[in-house]
Structure 1
């Protein structure tokens, strides 16, 4: 945001008197320009709508809409940076637990700002189209991989968990081929076994979806599709809150896309539950 403010300041002497009024408003209330129309901005400082538009063009933008999108993004990034700086410091009137929970809340906010919905939808499409789905990960990530695989198998079928320490793993690895999809959870600490699994999957023609924490993750070398989500760590304990939030979003999109199939499979399972009187 500071860079954008400097850009306006450096061009200030080149602006007309009306454009300087818009600049002054931007310095004082950038949020007003971020969420108001060019007409509303013009009325606020008694200039025409066209003056506001020409002001943004003089700054190098195609028009007011493009400038506004940049301002909105810059403000969001600035707020996120401030939040990240504040979270590690305990809040005086909050308990230790409340501060820990705030860190998890921040991780979801960060996910919201960074997630690419188009990439997420690509992953959902691949899940829907796959002949067979295998879910794997580091041994640190096995619990969440197992949970996600169970849900996919419940609603779609043809899903298995690949766990490298079992004999079944090698059988699954041998069966991998074109049309199959491997979904891998690869969060720190990265294991050689997880990377070897992805290397084998790619070599045998399967497609690979990687969920990981960073663009520097070694798993991305073998990814056809990837989603990055940060893992918050406190007291050497990793929190997968944001990962669960991402997976829940994927699950909801799968539910919408495969509505009839999901409902049919859930109905069959509910019938078994009822027949066995499983629940109180």
Structure 2
């Protein structure tokens, strides 16, 4: 069955700018759509009631009421991503090969990402990272571990990479050092982090090349990104949890780091040898 999510994604690129604003809001805040009138929704989004209604017509609904009914039904049957994560694992728990099934799902998600990515975009991203003089990586909540791994591995193969850690770093100082030779990489998924979005916007204003890793071309991170990697593992907003997304994102990140490493194999070899000179045990005393 085709949902309002499918319809918005299918027609998004043909919509007017006003209708796109409505579409983004409907995808990001379906709970608000379920509760508000067309007039109230328009005020929140910053468009007219007429624009909201015409958006519904553009999706081939008879009006706002039909869209609202579908959204309400959707919210009844689709709970949080954690609910989905629990449900899938509970279903598999009755089987003797639970751990194999879990890892096979990760395989399926990675294959889904492979089908979506544009290899030329990955080459472009790897080259831009390699040519940069300063790399800032940001991600919070479920994205923090991914951002940490990306920054860590980039430091091994390239150097000059810094993971933004709120409460530890002087963020104003880090941002002030960005210029048009710098790269900012933001990682955020549905229930998008306002902090990551704000940092991406500020990095863009500083002239940095902004790379966005997110879950959809409709993500608000797209607004501030020079290039975006949309990792869409589902046909509906709650079909997978952010926990499920992790292994596929990590695989993509490793591919990007590998791409940076092979641009100058001799330099990578030199950096690896320098890195391996240190005995980590001496810092554990």
TM tier relative to shorter chain: 0.5 to 0.7
**Contact 2:217–2:228 (8 Å) recurs in 1:** no
Shift of 1:93: 6.3
Shift of 1:107: 0.3
Gaps of 5+ in 2: 1-88
Q: Structure 1 97/235 Cα, relative in aligned 2: closer, same or farther at 3 Å?
A: farther
RMSD between aligned alpha carbons? Answer: 3.0
Alignment of 1:106-255 (within 5 A): 106-230=108-232, 237-255=243-261
Q: Which of 92, 104, 113 is the equivalent residue of 1:102?
A: 104
Hey, what's the Cα distance between the residues in 2 that align with 1:130 and 1:88? 46
Gaps of 5+ in 1: 1-86
Mean Cα displacement is larger for which, 137-146 or 210-219?
Answer: 137-146
**Which residue pairs with 2:269 in the alignment?**
263
Q: Structure 1 143/216 Cα, relative in aligned 2: closer, same or farther at 3 Å?
A: same
Q: Structure 1 234/213 Cα, relative in aligned 2: closer, same or farther at 3 Å?
A: closer
TM-score, scaled relative to structure 1: 0.61
Hey, what's the Cα distance between the residues in 1 that align with 2:219 and 2:283? 43
TM-score, scaled relative to structure 2: 0.60
Shift of 1:277: 6.8
Higher relative contact order (CA 8 A, sep 6+): 2
Q: Say whether residues 1:272 and 2:278 are aligned partners.
A: yes
Deviations for 1:163-195, whole angstroms, at most 9, x for unmatched residues? 233342221022222211101111223111111
Q: Structure 1 236/175 Cα, relative in aligned 2: closer, same or farther at 3 Å?
A: closer
Q: Structure 1 167/91 Cα, relative in aligned 2: closer, same or farther at 3 Å?
A: closer
Hey, what's the Cα distance between the residues in 2 that align with 1:167 and 1:134? 12
Q: Structure 1 237/227 Cα, relative in aligned 2: closer, same or farther at 3 Å?
A: closer
Hey, what's the Cα distance between the residues in 1 that align with 2:112 and 2:96? 22
**Higher radius of gyration, 1 or 2:** 1
Report runs of 4+ in structure 1 exceeding 4 Å deviation: 87-94, 231-236, 276-279
Hey, what's the Cα distance between the residues in 2 that align with 1:236 and 1:147? 17
**Contact 1:176–1:206 (8 Å) recurs in 2:** yes
**Contact 1:137–1:184 (8 Å) recurs in 2:** yes
